[in-house]
Every structure is written in C-alpha cells, then in structure tokens.
C-alpha cells in the first residue's frame, strides 16, 4: 500500500498518507510543533509494534528495504569486516535530529526512507527542473550503495532503522536486561549527539535565517515552515486550483510549496493542503477557520483602476469570496469611487486573477 501511495497520482485525501506511518517523521514533527494531530496515531501504532518486535518496520513496511531485497547486489567488501569497524551512525543521526527538532530544526528528517522513496517519484509528479533532482536523486544513490555494499544503509545509516535500534535498547533497559560496562556506554554518546543537535538548532538562527525569503505560503503555514516542510509535494498534487507550486529558488526554501496566482486563486471552501500535510508544517484548519488565516496583504494600484478612469467596472467586488471589497467615494470627488479592502481579506487572490488591469498585488504580512 505504501508503495502504491507513493506513486505520482492525486489520491485525494489519501495523498501523502504513506508518510504518516513513519515514527521518525512523527517524533520530529511533534517536537517542532509541540503538538500532535489525529493522524499521528498511525506513527504511534508503528512505534508500538516496533517496541514489541524489533526491526518489524524494516522487514514488512519499508519500501526502500523491499526494493533492496528484490534487487541483485555485488559485494565488493567483506561485510563483517567493514561493518565491525563502523559505528551505528543511524542512532547518532536520530538523536541529533530529535535534539534539533526541540528547537525547530529536525536536521535529518529528509533521510527518512519513506520520504526518500516518495521523493524519487516527485520527478514524475511535478514539471521537471534541475533543482528537483536534489530530492529525487537520494533513492538512486542508495541503490548504488546497496549494489556494492548491501546492508550499509539499512544497518548503519538509515535514521528510521536507528530509531528502531534505540527503541529496542530502551525496551531491554526497562526490562532489566541491559548491562554494559561504564567504560563503553553508548547511551552517553547518544546523549551527547542529541545535545549537539539541540545546541546547533539554538545557535543556527543567529547565523543563518532559513526563513528569510519573501514568498507566499499555503494558509495555515507555521512560522518555521522551511525547517519542517518535507518537500513531499502532497499539498501541490491535491490543490484543486493548482495555485501551489514548487519553490525553484536555491536556498533553504528550495522545493517547498509557494502560492503563485497565475490562472486561479485559493478557493474559499478548500482545506485539502492542511489535511494531507504529513509533517504539520501546514496546520490543520477547517473551512470556517480559513478566512482568518492570512496568506498575504492585498494592495491596489489605483492609478490603473478603471473606476479611477471613470470607466464602469466592479468585477473585483463580485469575485471576492470573503466580501472584503467595497467601493467608497473619493473625498475630493464624491462622484468618483475606488475599491477599498477590508481587514477580512485573507489574500486568496480572487481579485488579482479577475482584474482586467492587474491593479491588485499581494504583499507579505511579515
């Protein structure tokens, strides 16, 4: 089912559902948002099953592992010798990422295997551009690694695999069977890596502003959108008016969804982007709540407005779904009117699309 849902189709409300099954994504999301939503229960169910049966996710759910099992491989190195010298880097990645997520930076969330698998198919679900290769290339690279060194990714590098090992270690410790001499205490190392992730997340905003670009996000987007957005494209695929596009500008916002009013606008009776977002970077909202979620602030260029040229027009008022547009008389010329925008405008873009003179523009509310 997870493989099927990753295919580049619009599955309606099931779009992006496969990513909700990852407990690694779930934990990073909860730590960033300091809250959870109903579909997080899917990640919790997987978490509980992993607690009961070690490596269950790898053996029965993971699409990357499934593909690895079905493909041939050529071992260039003796597995036991190589692996005996390598630490469980995946554990360190998990703790570093979760430590950073507490302060808003889930550093290694993009290496979750479900997201890696989903990212490959983004090549077929969006218009091609070179920047898209960044996300789509991770899975082919892992395939090449598996060809020459099978098991390296799954056993030593995969963060979701590392999370399963940590869960198993915690279980054995709780059960009273975990006993390792103090001189070799991996728990101490894991604590250090988690702390390093937290410290990095604390000081990183003072060095680099990862959310500095001026773009327009889907309604309900969180403040630290670039930090948590998975770039999975679920919101873009499901958007009924296709106003959501991938950000193609190089930077921390690369491949995140942005709003571009070219042929349509963000309709009033739709909240699908918030329903399918698996990370919570778009907060779940109802249709009634949408009117209070500001996308941007609309401004009018009165110089080009037909009303200011004493020509008959009024389609912007008719098109506004929130009744945020009205016409007021000019103080120095009571016979002439101009459009006025009320505070209830949420920047949906209906007036921008409909205006024959392109008088309306959207500006950031930041």
Average pLDDT rounded to a whole number, residues 110-129: 84
**Can 225-290 and 297-363 be said to share one CATH topology?**
yes
Interval 332-342 mean pLDDT: 84
| pLDDT tens by residue, 224-267 | 899 999 998 899 999 999 999 999 887 888 889 999 998 899 99
Confidence of residue 73 (pLDDT cuts 50, 70, 90): low
- The CATH class, in words, for 225-290 is alpha beta
Using alpha carbons, select from 194, 190, 185 the residue that is nearest to residue 165: 190
In the 8-state DSSP scheme, what is residue 282? B
Q: Is the pTM of this model over 0.75?
A: yes
CATH of domain 297-363: 3.30.70.20
Tell me the pLDDT tens digit for each residue of 281-317. Answer: 999 999 999 999 999 999 999 888 998 888 889 899 9
346's CB contacts (< 8 A; 6+ apart) are 219, 290, 291, 292, 293, 294, 295, 322, 324
Can you give the length of the chain in residues?
A: 366
Task: Compute CA distances 350 → 26, 29, 191, 217, whole Å.
Answer: 35, 33, 51, 16
Q: pLDDT category, 182, cuts 50, 70, 90?
A: very low
Q: Where are the beta strands (DSSP E) in 240-293?
A: 244-246, 257-259
Sorted by where each begins, the domain ranges of the chain are: 2-207, 225-290, 297-363
Residue 183 pLDDT: 45
Q: What is the pLDDT of residue 184?
A: 44
C-alpha span between 176 and 72 (Å, rounded) = 41
pLDDT of residue 186: 52
Distances (CA, A) of 321 to 7, 215, 282, 293, 306: 34, 23, 22, 14, 21
Summarised one tens digit per residue, pLDDT across range 147-167 is 888 888 988 999 999 999 888
Q: Pick the most confident of 5-19, 120-134, 339-353.
A: 339-353
- Mean pLDDT for all residues in the chain: 85
């Amino acid at each position: 089912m997870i493989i099927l849902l990753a295919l580049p189709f619009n599955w309606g409300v099931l779009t992006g559902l496969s990513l909700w099954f990852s407990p690694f994504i779930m934990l990073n999301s909860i730590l960033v948002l300091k809250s959870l939503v109903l579909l997080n229960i899917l990640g919790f169910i997987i978490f509980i099953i992993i607690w009961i049966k070690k490596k269950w996710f790898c053996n029965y759910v993971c699409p990357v592992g499934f593909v690895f099992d079905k493909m041939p491989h050529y071992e260039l190195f003796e597995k036991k010798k190589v692996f005996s010298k390598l630490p469980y880097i995946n554990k360190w990645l998990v703790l570093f990422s979760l430590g950073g997520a507490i302060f808003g930076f889930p550093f290694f969330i993009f290496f979750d295997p479900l997201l890696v698998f989903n990212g490959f198919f983004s090549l077929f679900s969006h218009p091609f551009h070179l920047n898209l290769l960044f996300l789509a290339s991770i899975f082919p690279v892992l395939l090449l690694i598996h060809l020459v060194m099978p098991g390296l990714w799954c056993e030593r590098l995969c963060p979701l695999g590392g999370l399963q090992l940590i869960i198993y270690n915690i279980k054995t410790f709780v059960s009273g069977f975990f006993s390792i001499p103090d001189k070799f205490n991996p728990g101490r190392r894991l604590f250090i890596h988690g702390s390093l992730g937290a410290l990095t997340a604390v000081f990183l905003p003072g060095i680099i502003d990862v959310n500095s670009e001026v773009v327009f996000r889907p309604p309900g987007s969180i403040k630290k959108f670039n930090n948590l957005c998975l770039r999975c494209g679920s919101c873009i695929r499901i958007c009924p008016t296709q106003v959501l596009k991938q950000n193609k500008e190089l930077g921390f916002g690369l491949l995140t969804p942005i709003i571009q009013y070219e042929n349509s606008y963000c309709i009033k009776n739709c909240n699908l982007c918030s329903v399918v977002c698996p990370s919570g970077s778009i907060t779940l909202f109802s249709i009634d709540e949408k009117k209070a979620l500001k996308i941007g602030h609309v401004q009018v260029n009165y110089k080009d407005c037909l009303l200011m040229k004493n020509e008959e027009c009024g389609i912007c008022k008719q098109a506004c779904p929130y009744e945020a547009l009205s016409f007021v008389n000019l103080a120095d010329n009571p016979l002439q009117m101009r459009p006025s925008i009320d505070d209830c405008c949420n920047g949906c873009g209906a007036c921008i699309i409909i205006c024959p003179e392109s008088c309306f523009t959207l500006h950031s509310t930041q």
